[in-house]
Structure 1
Amino acid sequence: MDLHRGLIITLLITPLLACGQQSNAADEAKAAPLVPVETGAVSRESVSHYYRTTALLEAPEEAKVVARIDGIIETLAVEEGDRVQAGQLLATLDPRHHRLHLNKAQAELDVIDQELNRLAAIANRQLVSEETIAKLQYRREAALAQRDLAQLQWQYSQITAPIDGVIAKRHAKVGNMAKVQEVLFEVVQQHPLHAVVHLPEQELGRVRLQQEARLSLQGVDGPVPAQVLRIAPTVDPDTGTAKITLLVNNEARHLKAGMFSNVQLRFDTHENALVLPRIALIRQDLGHAVFVIKEGMAERREVTLGYSEGEQVEVVAGLTEGDQVVVRGHHQLHDGTEVTVIDPLQLAAGR
C-alpha cells in the first residue's frame, strides 16, 4: 500500500519539476544580454588588382665631373645639395698657364695673316710663287688649329655642370691640385626619378607602357604616383624576369635616389564592384565568411572574394549591396546570435 502511494506522489511531482525547468530556461534565454557589434555597409566602388614588389629609386641621369686639365683649384661656386643647370659654373682652375699659350698661338696666327695680306696687296702676282703662298696658307691652318686647341685648354679651366641636377658630392677643395680625369663633383638628376622592378615572365602580358603604379616610402606621407616608362625586350634566363622601369614624379624633390620603396603596379580595375571592409572577413578552411545582421540577429554567410585594395575587398558572391556586415565583435557570434548594433561615433561622443 505504501509502495503504491509513493509511486503516485512521484508521478505527480515529476511533471511539476519539468515545467519548472522549462520556465527557468526560458527566463534565462530572455535574460541573456545582446552581443554588441559594429557594422559596415556593403557598397559599390572601383577596386584594382596590383602586383606588389620592391624597388630602389634611381637617378635617370648622373654624371661625374672630372678635370680635363691639370691646375690648382682657385674657386668653388657650389656646394653639396645645390641645384645646378647644364653649363653652370662649378669651379675654376688657375688659367694663367693656358691663357699664355692662347696668347702665343693667337700672335703666331696674326703674323701669318699679316704676311698673307701683304702678299695679296702686291699687284704683280709674278713676284710671288704659288708654292710660297700655298706653304703660307698651310702654316696658317696649323696655327689656327694651335690657337683653337689653346683656347679649348683655357676653357677647360672653367669647370661646368654637364647636366641639370643636384650636387650629390663635392670632392674639389680650394688650393688642391686637380689632375686630369680626377673626379671633382658628382651630379645627379632628382626630377623625375626611376624605379626598376623585375617582373616574372608570366605577368608580362598584363603590363603596358604608361600603366599606373604607386610607391610607398618610409617617411613619405601618402602614395607616390608612377607609371611604366620602359619594358625590357628580353627576359633574363637566370631569373625568369624582365626589367620594368617606372617613371616616378618628384617635382617637390622630397624623394632621393637610393631610397627603398614598396611598389604596387596596377594590373586591372573593376568599376562599380561590390566591396566590403576587410576587417569583416572571417577565415575558414575553404575560404571566407562574414556575419550579416538581419532583424537583430547574426547570420553567417560564406563569400567569394575578388580583388582587394587597401581596406576594401571585392565580393563576387554571397552578399548584396546594402547588407550590413559585422566589422567588430564577430568573434563572439554564431549563426542566430541576437545582437545590438553600436554606433562608434555615438560611443566616442559618450566618452
Structure 2
Amino acid sequence: MQKKWLIGGGLAAVLVVGAGVAFVSGAIPARGGAGPDGNAEKAPPPLTFTAREVVRPQSAPMPGRVAFSGPLVAPGTATLRARAAGTLTTLAVAEGDRVRAGQAVGRIDLADVSSRVAEREANVAAARATLAQAQRTHAQNERLAGQQFISGAALDGSRAALETARAQLDAAQASAAATRVALRDATLLAPIDGIVAKRQVLPGEKVTPDQPVLTIVDLRRLELAGSVGTHEVARLSAGMPVQVQVEGVDSPVSGRIARIAPAAEPGTRAIGVTIELPNADERLRAGQYAAATAVLPDDRDRLSVPATAVSQSAGQDQVWLIDGGKLARRAVRLGRLDEATGRVEVLDGVTVDSVVVAARFDGLSEGRLASVSAEQAAAVASTSASAPARLQ
C-alpha cells in the first residue's frame, strides 16, 4: 500500500509541472494577448466630428474691454433746509411730486420774528425823527454861529449830534432789514427743478436753522460711480464712450467717461471712474445698479479660437487638432481674452489652416483616428450652432 501511495503522488507532481510548462510556452493563451482564433485585440473605432464640433482659427481684430459697475447717482440733488427756527405749519408736497426752482412748498410759523419786525420798524421811525431834529438844531446853530451868537464849540457839538443821529438811523434800518429777511425765510422755496425724493419733517413739527426739510433730485442727468484696477486705468480717458447695462432695462444705454480719479484708493488699489448718463426722459432712477463696458479698438489682426477649445494639462494650455486624419495634442500660448465673444487669442501653436476641436471632450487620445463628417456638415450648414454631443 505504501508503494502505491508513493507512485500516485509522483504522477500528480509530474502532471502539475507539465501544466506549468504548457502555460509558459503559450499552450494556454494569456489575458490581453491573442484569442482562441489567433487574432489581435481590436483598436478603438475612429471618431467622427460634425462641422459644429470643429473650427478653424480666425484672424481678426479683438477689441479690448474694460468693465466696471456701481450704483447710479444723481449729482443734481439738493436738500431744502429751514433757515429759521419755528413750527412747520404747511408742507404742500410729498415724495414723487415734481417741483420747480423758486416754488413755495411750505411755510414756517415765525410769530416771534413778526413781532421783532414791528419793533425794528418802530426803531427806524424813532431814529429818523431823531435825525430830523438833529438836522434842524444844527441848521439853527449854523445861523447863530454866523451871527456870532454862539461859540464854535457849540456848533461842533451840534454837528457831532447830527452825525450820531445819522448813524443811529443806519443801524436801525440794517436791523429792520435783517429781521425782514428772517421773515421771508418763513416761506420754503424749492432750490432746483426736480422730484421730491424724501420729506424729513412733517407739518406741526418744530424746526431749527439748517435742519433738512426736503430732498429734491434732478434725474435729467445721472452718473455711474465705479472703479477699475490700476493696471487698466491707463487704457481709459475722459470723454471715451461706454455702454451701460442698467438693471431692469432691456437695452444698453450710451454714456461717456466724465472724469477719472487722480489717485488710487488706499487698501483696494482701485481708481474711481465716473460715467455720465443723459436721462432726459427720466426713465432711469438713482440707486439702480449698472455695469459699464468701455470698448478699446484693436489696431491689428489676432489669431483666435473659441475659449471652449482650450483645455489644460499639467498646467499647460492645449488644444486638440485633427491632423492627417488623427487627433493631435498641441500646446499653445494664449493672449487676449474677449469674454463678449467667447474667443481667446492664440500666440503660437496653431495656424489659420489648423482644424481645431471646438469643445472639450472626455476620452481623447493622441493618434486616434478622427475625421469630420461631410454629410453632417451639410445637414447643419443652415442651422445655428448647438452644444456638441459627447464622444462614445
Give the TM-score normalised by the residue count of structure 2.
0.62
Number of the residue aligned with 2:272 = 244
Question: How far is 1:151 from its partner?
Answer: 1.8
User: How far is 1:220 from its partner?
Assistant: 3.3
Show the counterpart of 1:133.
162
Decide which structure has the larger Cα Rg and report it: 2
- For residues 318 and 150 of structure 1, what CA distance do their matches in structure 2 show? 85
Which one of the candidate residues 259, 264, 289 is aligned to 1:229? 259
Distance in 2, Cα, partners of 1:277 & 1:103: 86
> What's the counterpart of residue 63 of structure 2?
47
- Conservation of the 8 A alpha-carbon contact between 1:195 and 1:248: no
- Once the two structures are superposed, the pairs formed by residues 1-351 of structure 1 within 5 Å of their partners are 34-38=48-52, 42-50=58-66, 52-60=67-75, 62-84=77-99, 86-94=101-109, 97-106=112-121, 108-109=123-124, 112-113=127-128, 116=131, 126=142, 129-163=158-192, 165-190=194-219, 191-197=221-227, 199-200=229-230, 205-211=234-240, 214-224=243-253, 225-227=255-257, 229-233=259-263, 236=266, 239=267, 241-251=269-279, 252-262=281-291, 264=293, 269-274=297-302, 276=304, 278-285=306-313, 286-289=316-319, 291=321, 302-309=331-338, 310-313=340-343, 314-318=345-349, 327=358, 337-340=370-373, 341=377, 342-343=379-380, 345-346=382-383
Distance 2:133 2:356 in 1: 104
* Matched letter for residue 60 of structure 2: R
Identity of aligned residues (%): 21
Aligned-pair CA distance for 1:158:
1.8
Residues 125 and 244 (structure 1 numbering): CA distance in 2 closer, same or farther, change over 3 Å? farther
Cα distance, 1:189 vs structure 2: 4.9
**Counterpart position of 1:4:** none
What is the CA RMSD across the aligned residues, in angstroms?
4.4
Give me the whole-angstrom Cα distance separating, in 2, the residues matched to 1:296 and 1:103: 106
Distance 1:220 1:189 in 2: 20
CA-CA distance at 1:60 after TM superposition: 3.5
> Residue 140 of structure 1 aligns to which amino acid in structure 2?
L
Structure 1 unaligned residues grouped into runs of 5+: 1-16
User: Please, which moves more after superposition, 137-146 or 179-188?
Assistant: 179-188
Give the number of aligned pairs: 319
Distance across 2 between alignment mates of 1:158 and 1:345: 72
User: 1-side partners of 2:88 and 2:353: how far apart?
Assistant: 74
CA–CA distance in 1 between the matches of 2:141 and 2:318? 106
Provide, for residues 30-75 of structure 1, a one-character-per-residue CA deviation record: whole Å limited to 9, x for no partner: xx7843341666252441142x555344443544433222333233
What is the Cα deviation at residue 227 of structure 1? 1.5
Residues 288-326 of structure 1 show CA distances to partners (whole Å, capped at 9, x for unaligned) of 42657x899877655443222312433434555687765
Q: Which has the higher strand share?
A: 1
**Matched-pair contact (CA < 8 Å) for 2:222–2:277:** yes
TM-score (normalised: structure 1): 0.68
Residues 240 and 257 in structure 2, CA contact (< 8 A), matched pair in contact too: yes
